[in-house]
Amino acid sequence: MQSFNPPVRTLMGPGPSDVHPRVLQAMARPTIGHLDPAFIGMMEETKEALKYAFKTENELTMPVSAPGSAGMETCFANLVEPGDKVIVCINGVFGNRMKENITRFGGEAVVVEDKWGEAVSVDKVEQALKDNPDAKIVAFVHAETSTGAMSDAKAICALAAQHDCLNIVDTVTSLAGSELRVDEWGIDAIYSGTQKCLSAPPGISPISFSERAIQKLSNRNTPVTSWFLDLNLVMGYWGKGAKRAYHHTAPVNTLYGLHESLVMLTEEGLENAWARHSANHEDLKHNLEAMGMSFVVNEGDRLPQLNTVWIPEGIDDAAVRSRLLNEYNLEIGAGLGDLAGKVWRIGLMGYSARKENVVLATAALKEVLASQ
Amino acid sequence: MQSFNPPVRTLMGPGPSDVHPRVLQAMARPTIGHLDPAFIGMMEETKEALKYAFKTENELTMPVSAPGSAGMETCFANLVEPGDKVIVCINGVFGNRMKENITRFGGEAVVVEDKWGEAVSVDKVEQALKDNPDAKIVAFVHAETSTGAMSDAKAICALAAQHDCLNIVDTVTSLAGSELRVDEWGIDAIYSGTQKCLSAPPGISPISFSERAIQKLSNRNTPVTSWFLDLNLVMGYWGKGAKRAYHHTAPVNTLYGLHESLVMLTEEGLENAWARHSANHEDLKHNLEAMGMSFVVNEGDRLPQLNTVWIPEGIDDAAVRSRLLNEYNLEIGAGLGDLAGKVWRIGLMGYSARKENVVLATAALKEVLASQ
């Protein structure tokens, strides 16, 4: 058994995205204790920076010590009680995963379905709210990583509020890549990932809960099933003040990485980061369309950071991706579920959203397709 | 907001332990995709090395993508069904946490209690098994991190098997630090952490399940409550063969760190690592006793990697630890729960278990105590 020296790739799939050398170097700094005063200071800065990234003043804003899937589970485990009716919008893999979470925690899922590649239909959500006056939560994915579709989070949250429902929003792929305003849009519970547009290594999930969400949590009749994700306990460690109670051992070095990526975000400015993702998307779109490729998602609903295009007819999906990886060290994403073998997902996330990557991906894809 | 440059500490608390520079450097290697063939090769090596560390041939041996508390939850979420009677041994914080897990997943906990600082009483376990012929699982902590007591895992597992019970064993602090033989002792479900005697950064929990445990999992009447920790799904990604299905995004760089720490373990040899922990413990014990300090745990039941001593009378716990940290950059651990303010926990775990640390801790403690 020998040390593992990974190949140096350019990561233009659906995540993880390329991690900046500054962030990688931060990961290698000496590990210190999770109750060290110096570490607690860094935790405070991280929470503040996450508030900035989420555009929120929510006190309960913190990173969960596990990947985005655990961030999702944190929201559902804490907010769904047995018997709760939850309207869940499914237009891809991650809406389905939300539904799994709801039913496993004893909730009743009312499904609002849209075609993969389309945004969630706001009209259908409104109808479901009218049809289910006893619904307590509306859950949906802002940026569907399996298709590249963006939904109208602002409109859906407003509707949910009109019908006295909380909302749970998946922003794993949108945070720091597209416009996202937690307080202005009235988002109640939100989760994201570190390995997409923040370009920190995977393994952590930033979350934020509104006062309304905390109230629902405080008024539960049953304990949260998960001890590890029970925010009543987690907040003893991540909460306000210098006095922190041990709950679990935080992933110290991964948090160094997240902290550094947030330093870089504040240096660039959140709105500038959104604009950079859009600009690179425009360039890539122009290049791909010039090659005769077309997008799965309608123009107005596209995520700039995840470009999902139909694989040209007669082209072998796996062969192309494999050549890109082996010959150009370039990773692009395969399709998931119904879209497997039919689409490619080309990510422009975080540090990967750069001009040099746009031209690299275009040129490499052109060469490989020409010799298929 | 500026980059975070942690102080350089010597970590001699209950974990995290000092991380070797080779492991830190591994963390900083370029992130690659969690489905990259190169990454999948590294996953296979990691699984094999974990089998070596656990002394098992269990096919289901893998790292959970979250800290040890989530490793614990993985065992209980997958193996405890509503109504299952579980005998749980409590002789410290982590036995209590096991009980919390059991009841949250709908199990019925039968508690076998021992004093903090004592090993689990094998006789009491036998009695509980006789009194509860319908019990399905026996759960206990091999190495109780809150007290420094080691229990007789071999004897307890044998008793459980005689009474047709599965066992769940917490080895967060023992793995790679003390004798531990999963197959020989008949352990069914085991979890550990990376940040103790493996000296990889925190954030990952190695687990291993026997065939008997997998059978219980396969025969469940109810789905596992946690989607994130459902091993039926997780094994689609971590299981055998080159074809891996996406479940969640693995913590790529933290796994680099774990891999490197396992490379170092195979270089040293597992039995040599056990012996190193013992030898350094003997030296530290000699020094502490020469200073008039005494151990909380009886000689035969002590964990070499976690030395829990009574705080001398009249000494201010927090003041001493704070001076050690601020003046010597040395972290030792406080007491937890009933032992808070009464004991110190001095860790000699993994890369922290070195002669130079033994003399540093001794000398620093001597100086500080002399001037209290």
Chain A contact for B250 (CB, 8 A cutoff): yes
**Cα A26 to Cα B86: distance, rounded to the nearest angstrom:** 43
- Give me the residue from B15, B25, B223 closest to A249, CB to CB: B15
Q: What is the largest CA-CA distance in chain A?
A: 63
Whether B191 and B52 have beta carbons less than 8 Å apart is answered as: no
Q: How many residues does chain B have?
A: 372
What pLDDT is stored for residue A372 in this prediction?
83
- CB pair distance less than 8 Å for A28 and B32: no
- Do B260 and B291 lie in a common domain? no
Chain B contact for A28 (CB, 8 A cutoff): yes
**Cα B137 to Cα A356: distance, rounded to the nearest angstrom:** 57
- Do A224 and A275 lie in a common domain? no
Surface-to-core class of residue A271, CB atoms within 10 Å of its CB (0-12 exposed, 13-18 middle, 19+ buried): exposed
Segment B75-94 shows an average pLDDT of 98
Q: Would you tell me which residues 330-359 of chain B have a C-beta closer than 8 angstroms to some C-beta of chain A?
A: 331, 336
The 10s digit of each residue's pLDDT in A16-60 is 999 999 999 999 999 999 999 999 999 999 999 999 999 999 999
What pLDDT is stored for residue A140 in this prediction?
98
Residue span of the structural domain in which B282 resides: 10-15+270-370
On whether residue A285 sits in a domain, the answer given is: yes
User: Residue B218 maps to which CATH number?
Assistant: 3.40.640.10
**DSSP for B47-67, written as a single string:** HHHHHHHHT---SEEEEESS-
Query: Any residues with CB less than 8 A from the CB of A132 and at least 6 apart, and which?
Result: A85, A87, A110
Chain B contact for A249 (CB, 8 A cutoff): yes
- Do A189 and A112 lie in a common domain? yes
- Do A256 and A366 lie in a common domain? no
Q: How are strands ordered across the β-sheet holding A85-90?
A: A60-64, A205-209, A189-191, A166-170, A137-141, A85-90, A108-113
- Do B248 and B317 lie in a common domain? no
Lowest mean pLDDT among A270-279, A333-342, A343-352, B256-265: A333-342
Smallest CA–CA distance from B193 into chain A, residue: A249
Residue A75: name the closest of A209, A175, A222, A219 by CA.
A209
Chain B contact for A254 (CB, 8 A cutoff): yes
Alpha-helical segments (H) within chain A:
21-27, 37-54, 68-79, 93-104, 122-131, 153-162, 182-185, 211-218, 231-238, 252-268, 270-290, 317-328, 355-370
Tell me whether strands B343-347 and B330-334 are parallel, antiparallel or unpaired.
Answer: antiparallel
Among candidate residues A266, A285, A301, the one where a domain is terminated: A266
- CB pair distance less than 8 Å for A253 and B331: no
Chain B contact for A97 (CB, 8 A cutoff): yes
Is residue A242 very low, low, confident or very high in pLDDT (cuts 50, 70, 90)? low
**Cα A159 to Cα A94: distance, rounded to the nearest angstrom:** 21
The 10s digit of each residue's pLDDT in A50-98 is 999 999 999 999 999 999 999 999 999 999 999 999 999 999 999 999 9
- Do A185 and A242 lie in a common domain? yes
Whether A194 and A204 have beta carbons less than 8 Å apart is answered as: yes
- Do B234 and B281 lie in a common domain? no
- Do B229 and B347 lie in a common domain? no
What pLDDT is stored for residue B338 in this prediction?
86
| A37 cis-preceded (ω within 30 degrees of 0) | no
What pLDDT is stored for residue B244 in this prediction?
85
Distance in Å, alpha carbon of B247 to nearest chain A alpha carbon: 9
Segment A247-275 shows an average pLDDT of 98
| Number of domains chain A contains | 2
The 10s digit of each residue's pLDDT in B288-303 is 999 999 999 999 999 9
Chain A contact for B325 (CB, 8 A cutoff): yes
Distance in Å, alpha carbon of A162 to nearest chain B alpha carbon: 31
What pLDDT is stored for residue B356 in this prediction?
98
Among candidate residues B208, B241, B266, the one where a domain is terminated: B266
Whether A357 and A12 have beta carbons less than 8 Å apart is answered as: yes
- Do B193 and B215 lie in a common domain? yes
What pLDDT is stored for residue B242 in this prediction?
61
Whether A175 and A351 have beta carbons less than 8 Å apart is answered as: no
- Do B89 and B196 lie in a common domain? yes
- Do A223 and A292 lie in a common domain? no
The 10s digit of each residue's pLDDT in A224-239 is 999 999 999 999 999 9
Check residues B243 and A289 and name the one with the higher pLDDT: A289
Residue A226: name the closest of A66, A46, A44, A59 by CA.
A66
The 10s digit of each residue's pLDDT in B119-160 is 999 999 999 999 999 999 999 999 999 999 999 999 999 999
- Do A35 and A146 lie in a common domain? yes
Is residue B240 very low, low, confident or very high in pLDDT (cuts 50, 70, 90)? confident
User: Residue B345 maps to which CATH number?
Assistant: 3.90.1150.10
